[in-house]
Amino acid sequence: ECLPDVERLKRSSWTLLHTITTAYPTEPMPTQQEEMKTFMRMFSKINPCWCCVEDFRAWMSRPENNVSKYVQRRKTFGKWLCDAHNDVVENIGGGSDACVLRISI
Amino acid sequence: ECLPDVERLKRSSWTLLHTITTAYPTEPMPTQQEEMKTFMRMFSKINPCWCCVEDFRAWMSRPENNVSKYVQRRKTFGKWLCDAHNDVVENIGGGSDACVLRISI
Protein backbone atom coordinates (compact mmCIF):
# COMPACT_ATOMS: atom_id res chain seq x y z
CA GLU A 1 0.00 0.00 0.00
CA CYS A 2 2.72 2.43 0.99
CA LEU A 3 5.36 1.43 -1.54
CA PRO A 4 3.77 1.37 -4.98
CA ASP A 5 5.64 0.32 -8.09
CA VAL A 6 6.71 3.11 -10.39
CA GLU A 7 3.80 2.68 -12.81
CA ARG A 8 1.26 3.05 -10.03
CA LEU A 9 3.17 6.00 -8.63
CA LYS A 10 3.18 7.73 -12.01
CA ARG A 11 -0.53 7.10 -12.56
CA SER A 12 -1.34 8.34 -9.06
CA SER A 13 0.73 11.49 -9.45
CA TRP A 14 -0.80 12.45 -12.78
CA THR A 15 -4.31 11.63 -11.57
CA LEU A 16 -3.89 13.93 -8.59
CA LEU A 17 -2.19 16.70 -10.57
CA HIS A 18 -4.77 16.74 -13.38
CA THR A 19 -7.59 16.73 -10.85
CA ILE A 20 -5.95 19.67 -9.10
CA THR A 21 -6.05 21.62 -12.36
CA THR A 22 -9.73 20.80 -12.90
CA ALA A 23 -10.56 21.91 -9.33
CA TYR A 24 -8.65 25.17 -9.78
CA PRO A 25 -10.88 28.26 -10.10
CA THR A 26 -11.66 29.46 -13.61
CA GLU A 27 -10.36 32.89 -12.68
CA PRO A 28 -8.25 32.44 -9.56
CA MET A 29 -7.49 35.24 -7.14
CA PRO A 30 -3.87 36.41 -6.81
CA THR A 31 -3.53 34.50 -3.53
CA GLN A 32 -4.70 31.30 -5.18
CA GLN A 33 -2.26 31.82 -8.03
CA GLU A 34 0.59 32.21 -5.54
CA GLU A 35 -0.45 29.07 -3.67
CA MET A 36 -0.59 27.04 -6.86
CA LYS A 37 2.79 28.30 -8.07
CA THR A 38 4.31 27.44 -4.71
CA PHE A 39 2.67 24.01 -4.72
CA MET A 40 4.00 23.16 -8.18
CA ARG A 41 7.49 24.42 -7.34
CA MET A 42 7.59 22.38 -4.15
CA PHE A 43 6.24 19.36 -5.99
CA SER A 44 8.99 19.63 -8.59
CA LYS A 45 11.50 19.37 -5.74
CA ILE A 46 9.93 16.56 -3.72
CA ASN A 47 8.37 14.52 -6.56
CA PRO A 48 9.17 10.93 -5.52
CA CYS A 49 8.92 9.48 -9.05
CA TRP A 50 12.62 8.81 -9.58
CA CYS A 51 12.06 8.01 -13.23
CA CYS A 52 10.56 11.37 -14.19
CA VAL A 53 11.53 13.89 -11.51
CA GLU A 54 14.49 15.27 -13.48
CA ASP A 55 12.55 15.54 -16.74
CA PHE A 56 9.65 17.31 -15.03
CA ARG A 57 11.99 19.72 -13.27
CA ALA A 58 13.89 20.45 -16.49
CA TRP A 59 10.63 21.03 -18.36
CA MET A 60 9.39 23.45 -15.68
CA SER A 61 12.65 25.38 -15.70
CA ARG A 62 12.38 26.32 -19.39
CA PRO A 63 11.40 30.00 -19.69
CA GLU A 64 8.46 29.24 -21.98
CA ASN A 65 7.04 26.86 -19.36
CA ASN A 66 7.26 29.28 -16.43
CA VAL A 67 4.25 28.35 -14.33
CA SER A 68 3.67 31.97 -13.25
CA LYS A 69 1.94 32.96 -16.44
CA TYR A 70 -0.15 29.81 -16.69
CA VAL A 71 -1.76 29.89 -13.24
CA GLN A 72 -3.69 33.02 -14.14
CA ARG A 73 -6.56 30.92 -15.53
CA ARG A 74 -7.79 27.35 -15.04
CA LYS A 75 -7.73 26.85 -18.77
CA THR A 76 -4.07 27.82 -19.26
CA PHE A 77 -3.01 25.94 -16.12
CA GLY A 78 -4.72 22.75 -17.28
CA LYS A 79 -3.10 23.06 -20.69
CA TRP A 80 0.29 23.68 -19.04
CA LEU A 81 0.03 20.44 -17.07
CA CYS A 82 -1.05 18.44 -20.11
CA ASP A 83 1.93 19.82 -22.01
CA ALA A 84 4.20 18.84 -19.13
CA HIS A 85 2.66 15.36 -19.04
CA ASN A 86 3.05 14.82 -22.77
CA ASP A 87 6.62 16.10 -22.75
CA VAL A 88 7.75 14.12 -19.70
CA VAL A 89 6.02 10.94 -20.87
CA GLU A 90 7.65 11.29 -24.27
CA ASN A 91 11.06 11.73 -22.70
CA ILE A 92 10.78 8.54 -20.72
CA GLY A 93 9.80 6.52 -23.76
CA GLY A 94 6.07 6.26 -23.10
CA GLY A 95 3.29 7.69 -25.16
CA SER A 96 0.24 5.55 -24.70
CA ASP A 97 -0.87 7.38 -21.59
CA ALA A 98 -0.16 10.87 -22.92
CA CYS A 99 -2.75 13.31 -21.72
CA VAL A 100 -5.55 14.20 -24.01
CA LEU A 101 -7.57 17.29 -23.20
CA ARG A 102 -10.91 15.58 -22.88
CA ILE A 103 -12.11 17.75 -20.05
CA SER A 104 -14.29 20.78 -20.43
CA ILE A 105 -12.17 23.78 -19.65
CA GLU B 1 -8.39 9.88 -17.51
CA CYS B 2 -8.48 13.46 -16.30
CA LEU B 3 -11.62 13.25 -14.17
CA PRO B 4 -11.28 10.30 -11.81
CA ASP B 5 -14.05 9.24 -9.45
CA VAL B 6 -13.54 10.14 -5.83
CA GLU B 7 -12.30 6.69 -4.81
CA ARG B 8 -9.59 6.75 -7.45
CA LEU B 9 -8.70 10.30 -6.48
CA LYS B 10 -8.37 9.35 -2.81
CA ARG B 11 -6.24 6.30 -3.61
CA SER B 12 -4.02 8.35 -5.90
CA SER B 13 -3.55 11.11 -3.36
CA TRP B 14 -2.61 8.79 -0.51
CA THR B 15 -0.33 6.75 -2.77
CA LEU B 16 1.57 9.85 -3.78
CA LEU B 17 1.70 11.32 -0.27
CA HIS B 18 2.91 8.11 1.39
CA THR B 19 5.53 7.66 -1.31
CA ILE B 20 6.67 11.23 -0.70
CA THR B 21 7.24 10.38 2.96
CA THR B 22 9.26 7.27 2.07
CA ALA B 23 11.41 9.26 -0.37
CA TYR B 24 12.05 11.96 2.23
CA PRO B 25 15.59 11.94 3.67
CA THR B 26 16.10 10.13 6.96
CA GLU B 27 17.61 13.28 8.42
CA PRO B 28 16.52 16.14 6.16
CA MET B 29 18.39 19.43 5.94
CA PRO B 30 16.60 22.57 7.19
CA THR B 31 15.89 23.61 3.58
CA GLN B 32 14.27 20.26 2.86
CA GLN B 33 12.17 20.54 5.99
CA GLU B 34 10.97 23.98 4.90
CA GLU B 35 10.11 22.71 1.43
CA MET B 36 8.14 19.81 2.84
CA LYS B 37 6.24 21.99 5.30
CA THR B 38 5.37 24.37 2.49
CA PHE B 39 4.32 21.51 0.22
CA MET B 40 1.98 20.04 2.83
CA ARG B 41 0.49 23.44 3.68
CA MET B 42 -0.16 24.18 0.03
CA PHE B 43 -1.58 20.71 -0.49
CA SER B 44 -4.01 21.22 2.40
CA LYS B 45 -5.31 24.29 0.56
CA ILE B 46 -5.54 22.92 -2.97
CA ASN B 47 -6.40 19.27 -2.20
CA PRO B 48 -9.07 18.50 -4.82
CA CYS B 49 -10.67 15.64 -2.86
CA TRP B 50 -13.88 17.37 -1.92
CA CYS B 51 -14.87 14.58 0.43
CA CYS B 52 -11.82 14.84 2.69
CA VAL B 53 -10.27 18.27 2.16
CA GLU B 54 -11.97 19.82 5.19
CA ASP B 55 -11.17 16.91 7.50
CA PHE B 56 -7.53 16.89 6.42
CA ARG B 57 -7.22 20.64 6.91
CA ALA B 58 -8.88 20.49 10.33
CA TRP B 59 -6.58 17.64 11.37
CA MET B 60 -3.48 19.56 10.28
CA SER B 61 -4.59 22.68 12.13
CA ARG B 62 -4.66 20.96 15.53
CA PRO B 63 -1.60 22.07 17.57
CA GLU B 64 -0.54 18.49 18.28
CA ASN B 65 -0.44 17.78 14.53
CA ASN B 66 1.66 20.80 13.59
CA VAL B 67 3.73 19.51 10.68
CA SER B 68 6.76 21.62 11.67
CA LYS B 69 7.90 19.26 14.37
CA TYR B 70 7.29 16.13 12.33
CA VAL B 71 9.32 17.02 9.23
CA GLN B 72 12.54 16.88 11.21
CA ARG B 73 12.93 13.16 10.51
CA ARG B 74 11.60 10.77 7.86
CA LYS B 75 10.35 8.48 10.59
CA THR B 76 8.23 11.09 12.36
CA PHE B 77 6.98 12.54 9.08
CA GLY B 78 5.87 9.12 7.84
CA LYS B 79 4.10 8.46 11.11
CA TRP B 80 2.44 11.90 10.94
CA LEU B 81 0.97 11.12 7.52
CA CYS B 82 -0.27 7.70 8.58
CA ASP B 83 -1.97 9.30 11.58
CA ALA B 84 -3.56 11.87 9.26
CA HIS B 85 -4.68 9.11 6.90
CA ASN B 86 -6.20 7.02 9.69
CA ASP B 87 -7.95 10.01 11.20
CA VAL B 88 -9.32 11.40 7.95
CA VAL B 89 -10.42 7.97 6.70
CA GLU B 90 -12.20 7.33 10.00
CA ASN B 91 -13.99 10.67 9.80
CA ILE B 92 -15.37 9.93 6.38
CA GLY B 93 -16.72 6.58 7.46
CA GLY B 94 -14.08 4.37 5.89
CA GLY B 95 -11.61 2.22 7.70
CA SER B 96 -10.70 -0.67 5.44
CA ASP B 97 -7.97 1.27 3.69
CA ALA B 98 -6.53 2.81 6.85
CA CYS B 99 -2.80 3.06 6.59
CA VAL B 100 -0.73 0.42 8.28
CA LEU B 101 2.92 1.19 8.83
CA ARG B 102 4.28 -1.69 6.82
CA ILE B 103 7.22 0.22 5.46
CA SER B 104 10.67 0.18 6.93
CA ILE B 105 11.30 3.56 8.45
pLDDT band (50, 70, 90) for residue B98: low
pLDDT digits (tens, 9 = 90+) for B38-94: 999 999 999 998 888 888 999 999 999 999 999 999 999 999 999 998 887 766 555
pLDDT digits (tens, 9 = 90+) for A7-64: 888 889 999 999 999 999 999 999 999 999 999 999 999 999 888 888 899 999 999 9
pLDDT digits (tens, 9 = 90+) for A4-16: 688 888 889 999 9
Note whether B1 contacts A99, CB cutoff 8 Å.
yes
pLDDT digits (tens, 9 = 90+) for B7-45: 888 889 999 999 999 999 999 999 999 999 999 999 999
Note whether A19 contacts B48, CB cutoff 8 Å.
yes
Question: Interface pTM (ipTM) of the complex?
Answer: 0.84
What percent of chain B shows pLDDT beyond 70? 81
Chain B hits for A8, CB-CB cut-off 8 Å, are 15
Chain A hits for B85, CB-CB cut-off 8 Å, are none
Does any CB of chain B come closer than 8 Å to the CB of residue A43? Answer: yes
What domains can be seen in chain B, in order of their start residue? 12-91 (1.20.120.310)
Q: Kindly report the three-state secondary structure assignment for every residue of chain A.
A: CCCCCHHHHHHHHHHHHHHHHHHCCCCCCHHHHHHHHHHHHHHHHHCCCCCCHHHHHHHHHCHHHCHHHHCCCHHHHHHHHHHHHHHHHHHCCCCCCCCCCCCCC
Q: Kindly report the three-state secondary structure assignment for every residue of chain B.
A: CCCCCHHHHHHHHHHHHHHHHHHCCCCCCHHHHHHHHHHHHHHHHHCCCCCCHHHHHHHHHCHHHCHHHHCCCHHHHHHHHHHHHHHHHHHCCCCCCCCCCCCCC
